[in-house]
Amino acid sequence: MYLLGLTTLGDSAAALVKDGQLVAAVEEERFSRKKHHAGFPYRSIKFCLDHAGITLKDVEHVGHYWKPWILRHKAVQAAKAAFISPAMFKARADRGIAQVSDSYLGMFKHPKRLREHFGDSSFKFHFIEHHQSHAASAFFVSPFESAAILTWDGTGEDTTTLFCRGKGNRIEVLKRIKLPHSLGQFYSAVTNYIGFDMFAGDEWKVMGLAAYGKPRFYDFFREKVLTTNGNGGFRFNIKALDHHLAKHYEFPETIIREVGPPRLPGEELTEVHWDVASSAQKVLEDTAIHLVHQLKEMTGEEDLCMAGGVAFNSVMNGRIFHETPFKRFFVQPAAGDAGCSIGAAYHVWHRKLGMPRSFVMEHAYWGPGFTSDECRAAIEDEGLAYETLPDGVLLPRLAKMISEGAIIGWFNGRMEFGPRALGARSFLADPRRSDMREILNHKVKLREWFRPLAPSMHAESAEEVFGVPHHDPFMITVIAVAEDYRGRIPAVVHVDGTARPQMVSRKTNPRYWELIDEFKKITGIPMLLNTSFNVQEPIVCTPQDALRTFRNANFDALVLEDHLIVRSGNE
In the Cβ-directed half-sphere of 346, how many Cα atoms lie within 13 Å? 32
- DSSP-based three-state secondary structure for 543: helix
Residue 509 confidence (pLDDT) above 60: yes
- DSSP-based three-state secondary structure for 261: coil
**What pLDDT was estimated at residue 104?**
84
423-469 tens-digit pLDDT: 999 999 999 999 999 999 999 999 999 998 999 999 999 999 999 99
- Looking at domain 372-566, does it have CATH number 3.40.50.1220? no
Strands, DSSP E only, in 65-212?
A: 124-127, 146-152, 159-167, 170-178
Handedness of CA 341, 347, 348, 349 (dihedral sign): positive
Mean pLDDT of 293-307: 97
367-417 tens-digit pLDDT: 999 999 999 999 999 999 999 999 999 999 999 999 999 999 999 999 999
CATH 3.30.420.40 boundaries in the chain: 2-68+108-141+332-352, 183-330
Q: How far is CA 192 from CA 92, 241, 272, 491, 544, in A?
A: 17, 11, 14, 28, 34
Mean pLDDT of 118-145: 98
The CATH number of 2-68+108-141+332-352, from 2.40.50.660, 3.30.420.40, 3.90.1170.50, 3.90.1010.10, is 3.30.420.40
Q: How confident is the model at residue 232 (pLDDT cuts 50, 70, 90)?
A: confident
Mean pLDDT of 308-337: 96
Of 195, 180, 182, give the one whose Cα is nearest residue 246: 195
Q: How confident is the model at residue 43 (pLDDT cuts 50, 70, 90)?
A: very high
For every residue of 352-410, which 3-state class applies, written as one string? HCCCCCCCCCCCCECCCCCCHHHHHHHHHHHCCCCEECCHHHHHHHHHHHHHCCCCEEE
**What pLDDT was estimated at residue 427?**
98
Q: How confident is the model at residue 202 (pLDDT cuts 50, 70, 90)?
A: very high
**341 neighbors 15 (Cβ within 8 angstroms):** yes
**What pLDDT was estimated at residue 231?**
84
Per DSSP, 100 falls in state I
Q: What is the mean pLDDT of the chain?
A: 94
Superfamily designation of domain 183-330: ATPase, nucleotide binding domain (3.30.420.40)
**What pLDDT was estimated at residue 459?**
97
Of 7, 5, 310, give the one whose Cα is nearest residue 159: 310
Q: In the chain, what percentage of residues exceed pLDDT 90?
A: 90
Q: Which residues contact 71 (CB under 8 A, 6 or more apart)?
A: 100, 104, 157
Q: Which residue has the higher pLDDT, 443 or 488?
A: 488
Residue 100 confidence (pLDDT) above 90: no
CATH 3.90.870.20 boundaries in the chain: 372-566
Q: Which residue has the higher pLDDT, 85 or 360?
A: 360
Mean pLDDT of 341-356: 98
Residue 78 confidence (pLDDT) above 80: no
Strands, DSSP E only, in 294-340?
A: 303-307, 328-330
**What pLDDT was estimated at residue 70?**
83
